A and B are shown apart, each in its own frame.
Chain A
């Protein structure tokens, strides 16, 4: 019996007549269309990820929040964390750009997949860094409330609740801030990992397939 694959090969090579044929003009139009490749998506989403936390500062309510930080006596922490954050962000952008430039469809499939996954990893570390910073800032705020004599006044509220003691109020505030911190961090983390989970599923699967071939 003839090798089955040879039979298929013979048939395959006669397929040309059945394939669609595009004209010069049709192809010419295509080269100006926008790419919708995974790399492009990763690039766009990463840019958004780098920008969004910084755009938040432009919102009026966020500037008000900054004032609360100062009133709670946390101005120094804010300054140091900002310097630290921007240093790290710059490093991440540099690293991201360098890796992004390395992605080339002229590489072999395995190297291409690896380079894309590496680029992605850079952003992943960046996001983990940001999430930790967000969580940390909630914790520091809780500490600030704990150390402050009159946290309500520092937060811009002038009224004094009557049927609750100052200590109880403090505890409630601290608990609220910590819970809020956990929730915000978790929700943002979930959105992020879900988004990339979907986007990178195919890449990861194919990379695994190629890696397994080489064992």
Chain B
């Protein structure tokens, strides 16, 4: 029985691991911390798994536990300095056609997003993952209206960074 559960959980996580990797990318600066956070999220997901009874999609439930771990439970082991190799892999711009202006803009934006506070980052992350405001609000525990207001503020902040 337990073996079944383990197998089922690991299979589902293996399929959906991109979500966790993306959270780690936003909240950490180097590969060690990335792996650290990934592991902590995996432990928390596994601990919560018996309580997840398929009421929502596995991925929806994952967003919540992963972000909660990043915002609340995860302790950075040390002050991490962004390492060049990590940056270049994680933030390699993936434009189909090379467009220097666009690339410059994206770089600036990724930088700006990573400098946001933990909670703002979570908001942007869910937005980038194409979640609607209802889901964003429910995940963070704020009202839908306030999620919208806050997101607009972040958008304006990014705009000023790009067009000083």
Contact = CB atoms under 8 A, between A and B. Distances in A.
A45 B48 CA distance: 23
B150 A18 contact: no
Nearest to B12: A27
Contacts of B117: 205-206, 209
| Central interface residue in B73, B102, B130, by most chain A CB within 10 Å | B73
A194 interface: no
Nearest to B61: A106
Interface in B131-147: 138-143, 146-147
B141 A14 contact: no
A15 B22 contact: yes
A39 to B, nearest CB: 6
B21 A20 contact: yes
A105 B18 contact: no
A109 B119 CA distance: 9
Given A19-B22, A109-B139, A209-B120, A11 B42 contact: no
A206 B146 contact: no
A45 to B, nearest CB: 13
Contacts of B61: 106
Contacts, number: 168
B89 interface: yes
Given A12-B128, A109-B139, A33 B75 contact: no
Interface string A1-36: 001110111011111111111111001101101111
Contacts of B44: 35, 37, 105
A21 B17 contact: yes
A116 B159 CA distance: 36
B127 A112 contact: no
Given A109-B141, A112-B68, 20 more contacts: A8-B128, A20-B21, A24-B10, A28-B10, A34-B43, A105-B47, A106-B51, A106-B52, A106-B64, A108-B140, A109-B139, A110-B140, A110-B142, A112-B72, A202-B75, A205-B118, A206-B118, A209-B119, A213-B146, A214-B146
Q: Which 7 A-B pairs have the closest CB atoms?
A: A110-B141, A108-B141, A37-B73, A209-B119, A31-B46, A19-B21, A12-B128
